Amino acid sequence: MSPWRDVGGPRSPVAHGAVLSTAAVDALLTTAETFVRDELIPLEPAVLTRPFREVRVQLAPLRARAKALGLWAPFLPERHGGRGLALVHFAEVSAILGRSPVGHYVCNCQAPDVGNMELLLSHGTEAQQAQWLAPLAAGGMRSCFAMTEPDRAGSNPTWLDTRAVRVGDEYALHGHKWFTTGADGAAFAIVMAVTDPDALPHRRASQLIVPMDAPGVELVRNISVMGEPGSDHASHAELRFHDVRVPVANRLGDDGAGFALAQERLGPGRIHHCMRWIGICDRAFELMCRRAVSRELGPGDLLASRQAVQHAIADSRAEIHAARLMVRDAAARVAAEGSHGAREEISLIKFFVAGVLQRVLDRAIQVHGALGLTDDLPLAYWWRHERGARIYDGADEVHKTVVARAVLRGYERAGG
């Protein structure tokens, strides 16, 4: 547990979602902290050194334990087995779960499933919810989200090459996707595909629910990222769709609504990611500080006495605290005004927190020396898996441009 998690004032007020008392929220956070510390962190030697597919068997009883503790899919309404937490409260839970590499998975709120569940909850038909959301919410299946393409710039999500051509009551789907997280072992994918190439750029694409065992779906490979291809949930796949027939009934929302749904999904999704990254930073900071006060450079000469280490700790402390406050503010804005109303705040936290994550992990690795490079600690694991934070869901440079343009428009309207 970070000794200064609650520094900085009260949590943001609830705008939408369940109304929980402060005492109820604090009790839930305490339960989550105890669960992560006592039951998840001790599993790290296995999690860090074995394929996720093997570890998954070991995690099954802990998923049942998470349900019993009320930590299961806390963002979902109670009728779907969750706690109905408002975004601002789920963000706090997410930061605690982020302290363990398997915290979100064990509590069934891991990406990309969390975003897919939210999409199905808000835009799925009754039939889609019964077939896909119910088992996903119960933990009986996993899903993936296929949007990024190797041959088209991810910074321009309106420029997709994957096509879904209407043929009667079906779509014929052709395309090539990659970095589809968790496709290995997923039951279905939500695929972004162009259904009307002649429409306006933001109305060309739709989202289709595609069973992964449908004829023509090819999982080409799990992409090796920094030397690790991963497996099961902890992987990023390359996919090809060869004339895959998808019922029109599997379309999410209206024809051409794919981009709007993606933006709606990414708003809360970036809050989830950023608070998870803050949880990682909390844990890395804690490990760094413990190393500093216990590692001797000579008899009685502690690493903590070195000014360079002190500065690394002070800089990390300030940046994590600033990041936490920024994300809390953005979460409150999303809850009050939706993703579109909070688009500037969402872009701010996306690049700022991703940068803090990289810097804090780098400092923690440096303070640990050679130990920081090993899988005896989770630091190297997080470096491999989370360096992409500055690229996924929009590269830093794209989000900085969004923020700068919004700022400059204000000055232009004011006449300079």
| Cα–Cα distance measured from residue 14 to residue 236, given in angstroms and rounded to the nearest whole number | 34
Q: Quote the percentage of the chain above a pLDDT of 70.
A: 95
Q: What is the pLDDT of residue 1?
A: 43
SS3 270: helix
What domains does the chain contain, in order, with CATH numbers? 143-252 (2.40.110.10), 260-413 (1.20.140.10)
pLDDT above 60 (res 6): no
CA–CA distance, 112 with 389 (Å, rounded to integer)? 14
Closest listed residue to residue 147, CA positions, set 158, 131, 134? 158
pLDDT number for residue 11: 35
pLDDT tens-digit readout, 93-143: 999 999 999 999 999 999 999 999 999 999 999 999 999 999 999 999 999
User: Which position has the token pair 């992990």?
Assistant: 361
118 CB-near residues (< 8 Å, 6+ apart): 75, 265, 268
- Mean pLDDT across the chain, nearest whole number? 93
Q: What is the CB neighbour count within 10 angstroms for residue 84?
A: 18
Structure token digits, residue 240: 């090809």
Q: What average pLDDT does range 386-407 have in this prediction?
A: 93
Q: Does pLDDT of 10 surpass 60?
A: no
Query: Positive or negative CA dihedral for 151, 153, 154, 159?
Result: negative
Residue 9 has pLDDT above 50, yes or no: no
Residues 127/159, Cβ–Cβ less than 8 Å? no
Query: Which DSSP string corresponds to 8-60?
Result: SSPPPPPSSS----HHHHHHHHHHHHHHIIIIIGGGHHHHHHS-HHHHHHHHH
Q: Is the pLDDT of residue 304 over 60?
A: yes
* AA letter at 376: D
Q: What does each C-alpha distance from 393 to 13, 44, 178, 379 come to in angstroms?
A: 27, 27, 13, 22
DSSP secondary structure letter of residue 108? T
**What is the C-alpha R_g of the chain?**
22
> What does the DSSP 8-state code read for residue 202?
G
- Mean pLDDT, range 282-304, rounded to an integer: 97
- 């200064």: which residue's tokens? 4
Q: Which residues, listed in sequence order, are joined to residue 188 by a DSSP beta bridge?
A: 143, 211
Distance from first CA to last CA of the chain, Å, rounded?
A: 48
Least confident of 187-191, 201-205, 334-338: 334-338
Q: Identify the H or E element spanning 61.
A: helix 52-69
CA neighbor of 232 nearest in space, from 39, 13, 54, 23: 54
Burial class of residue 316 in the structure, from the number of CB atoms within 10 Å of its CB (0-12 exposed, 13-18 middle, 19+ buried): buried
Between CA 277 and CA 351 the distance in angstroms is 12
Answer for the pair 207, 253: CB distance below 8 angstroms, yes or no: yes
Report whether 148 contacts 215 (CB < 8 A).
no
Give 254-287 pLDDT, tens digit per residue.
999 999 999 888 888 899 999 999 999 999 999 9
C-alpha distance from residue 230 to each of 61, 98, 238 (Å) = 22, 19, 13
DSSP element (H, E) containing 238 = strand 234-247
Q: What is the pLDDT of residues 242-252, one digit of tens each?
A: 999 999 999 99
The answer to whether 97 and 251 are in contact (CB under 8 A) is: no
The whole-angstrom separation of Cα 395 and Cα 153 is 11
Q: Taking 80 as the threshold, does the pLDDT of residue 86 lie above it?
A: yes
Please check whether residue 91 is in contact with residue 47, taking contact to mean a CB–CB distance below 8 angstroms.
Answer: no
pLDDT of the residue at 19: 58
